[in-house]
């Protein structure tokens, strides 16, 4: 995937390669248009307290941190960041796709946490 990394199953849902289960992807996410996804019906989101209650406090902290650090970037900015060293575990598959081994992810996380 030249614009990866992306989770294979997520990409399959985006591309219509997986049939959505009831109340799953197709219920929540509209068809993509110009590479953009959107909520099918934004009124389905009530409040974070109600809709995010299944997430742990640690999950919410990770989501907040990711949003604070990367939420202001465009899709293409993010794509370029992953290709310019932000995700050293990703290797260009040259028009194909290949899994990123968990070992590589863990090694990169260790390297990132040990930076001065």
With 0-12 / 13-18 / 19 or more C-beta atoms within 10 angstroms meaning exposed / middle / buried, residue 18 is middle
What DSSP line would sit under 16-45, residue for residue?
A: T-SPPPTTSHHHHBPPPBTTB--BS-GGG-
Rg of the Cα atoms in the chain: 17
pTM: 0.62
Q: What's the pLDDT band for 89 if we cut at 50, 70, 90?
A: confident
Task: Answer yes or no: is pLDDT of 21 > 80.
Answer: no
């Amino acid at each position: 995937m030249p614009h990866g990394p992306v989770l294979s199953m997520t990409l399959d849902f985006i591309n219509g390669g997986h049939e959505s289960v009831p109340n799953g992807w197709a219920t929540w996410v509209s068809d993509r248009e110009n590479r953009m996804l959107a909520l099918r019906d934004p009124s389905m989101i009530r409040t974070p307290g109600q809709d995010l209650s299944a997430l742990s406090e640690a999950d919410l902290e990770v989501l907040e941190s990711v949003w604070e650090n990367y939420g202001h970037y465009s899709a293409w900015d993010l794509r370029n960041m992953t290709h310019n060293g932000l995700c050293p575990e990703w290797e260009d598959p040259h028009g194909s796709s290949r899994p990123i081994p968990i070992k590589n992810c863990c090694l990169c996380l260790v390297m990132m946490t040990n930076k001065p």
